[in-house]
Amino acid sequence: MAPAGRLLLLLLLLRMRAVPSAVLHKGIGEPCEEHRECQSTCCTTSTLSPQKYCASLTVFRKCLSWQKPEGYPCSDHNQCRSSCCVTNNHNPLRFCTPRTVFLQCLSWRKPNRDYCSEHRECHSQCCLSLTEAAPARCRPRTGVLAQCLPP
């Protein structure tokens, strides 16, 4: 019976040696720095804080990082839930903005009578100077075909 007990003890010890590698992986919600630290192989941010945590994978086995909701400052489209990071007024800061009904990400443009230097700056897409000496301003489109023509 002693050899059977030793064999059982040896098997238990071998099994216990195999288990710690799985135990070393962190569970959902635990702080991490790299994907390989997590059981889910997904280490990502979950809030505005730069601290990363182990997170679960999506149904499609993707590891998605937390993205900012509308109104939060951003520097790139991929930081926003809407994938739309644009200016929303004269201020050069950019913010997460909702997409249009047609899923477009449109930048804010200057209203009529604002100073401009090129057409794409204006909401009307029309930047004209009334005289050679006057500075260019955003103007409404005119005519039957709504063209960018001086009045």
Residue 8: pLDDT band (50, 70, 90) is: low
3-state DSSP call for residue 14? helix
CA distance 88 to 114: 15
| Residue 59 placed within a domain | yes
| Residue 3 placed within a domain | no
Find tokens 């990502």 and name the residue.
44
Judgement on whether residues 77 and 98 belong to the same structural domain of the protein:
yes
Range of the domain at 29: 25-66
Q: How many domains does the chain have?
A: 3
Domain boundary among 10, 41, 66: 66
- In this predicted structure, the answer to whether residue 68 has a pLDDT above a threshold of 50 is yes
> When comparing pLDDT for 142 and 42, which is higher?
42
Per-residue pLDDT tens over the stretch 54-65: 888 888 888 887
- In this predicted structure, the answer to whether residue 84 has a pLDDT above a threshold of 90 is yes
Judgement on whether residues 102 and 123 belong to the same structural domain of the protein:
no
Per-residue pLDDT tens over the stretch 112-122: 999 999 988 89
| Residue 29 placed within a domain | yes
| Residue 8 placed within a domain | no
Judgement on whether residues 75 and 101 belong to the same structural domain of the protein:
yes
- In this predicted structure, the answer to whether residue 129 has a pLDDT above a threshold of 80 is yes
As a 3-state breakdown, the chain gives helix, strand, coil percent values, each rounded to 5, of: 20, 20, 60
Residue 18, pLDDT score = 47
| Residue 100 placed within a domain | yes
| Residue 72 placed within a domain | yes
| Residue 96 placed within a domain | yes
Task: Flag whether the pTM goes above 0.85.
Answer: no
Average pLDDT over residues 72-97: 87
| Residue 6 placed within a domain | no
Residue type (1 letter), 145: L
Judgement on whether residues 29 and 62 belong to the same structural domain of the protein:
yes
